[in-house]
Amino acid sequence: MAEARVSIGHYPAYVVLLAFCGLVRRLPGWCVWRLARGAALAAYLLDGRHRRRAVSNLDIAFGDTLRPAEKRAIARGSFASLFLTIAELIRIPLVADRITDTVGMITSGTIRHARRRGRGVIFLISHFGNWEIMAHRCVAEGFPLASVARPLKNPLIDAEIRRIRTLNGARTLEKKWVAREIIETLSRNGCVAILMDQYAGREAPFVPFFGRPVSTTPAAALLALKTGAALIPVFNERRAPGRHRMHVCDPIPVSPTGDRRRDVAGICARYNRLLEEWVRRHPDQWLWMHRRWRRKKGAGEP
């Protein structure tokens, strides 16, 4: 895997990031949470493009069942959740050695049972609550974990974020080079986390989410069918700023029928149903600013 080249132009943003992280780690928690909420409100008011996208997505998901004011409140909460996640990620070095006090876990027994099969575990995760902090909790519980992440354009910033993500022994896998490393990790009965709630292109399975078909990544389903790994959805519920509960759900059944396309679509549909249930419970904790409901390719389109 080739190392990204560092240029002089990468340093200014990197220095600003280090200074900002240093400040966030020195301030008391209550001050950081208030600043994060204030910055989120400013972003909501000033970033019209993402604000309109969030409200538009809420229109698609909830239709007339919510009033416009309720949708705007959820959108503001989604901005706040994102900014709190960023602040909590920066402060992970302060809590990494006592992560079990910060993040509760329900229930780790499901993971232990799945690992007894010896074929590894694929965690299905989403941009819900603080998805970043769950890796630290899993490693603290004794589960060897690798997370799939897209490298950032600035290699210095990417290295710093990777350092934070891997403080307690978790690994990150670059999305571009990931398939072989995932299969090797699973063959050693390890655990891999894959994000499932992003648009995956017009060739991916389109399965229902809030009543409309959405492109859903087939990667986890294909890997489970190939390796026999367990597919376990996990969700992070933010109980308060800096306090979380990690919910480990029952594994999604993987029962090959010989029709790979139908099997993959079925797994993706089951996950989307579960994600929808969680989003309906805590709509302000999901990332509504992503273009989730893009259309499927029409017949004859390139």
- What mean pLDDT comes out for the span 31-36? 97
Determine the Cα angle at 143 with ends 187 and 87, to 5°: 125
Closest by Cα among 248, 243, 218 to 114: 248
Tell me if 234 sits within 8 A of 111, measured CB to CB: no
Identity of the highest mean pLDDT range in 5-19, 40-54, 85-99? 40-54
Closest by Cα among 32, 209, 36, 247 to 125: 247
d(CA 200, CA 297): 12
Q: What is the pLDDT of residues 189-235, one digit of tens each?
A: 999 999 999 999 989 999 999 999 999 999 999 999 999 999 999 99
- pLDDT exceeds 70 at position 186: yes
The pLDDT confidence band at residue 301, using thresholds 50, 70 and 90, is: very low
The pLDDT confidence band at residue 299, using thresholds 50, 70 and 90, is: very low
Predicted model pTM: 0.92
Tokens 């989003």 belong to 279
Distances (CA, A) of 223 to 76, 102, 147, 164: 36, 32, 14, 27
Distances (CA, A) of 1 to 119, 163, 174, 179: 26, 18, 9, 13
For the chain, the domains span: 11-285
The β-bridge relationship of strands 212-215 and 243-248 is: unpaired
Q: What is the pLDDT of residues 149-177, one digit of tens each?
A: 888 888 999 999 999 998 888 888 876 65
Residue with the bigger pLDDT between 44 and 2: it is 44
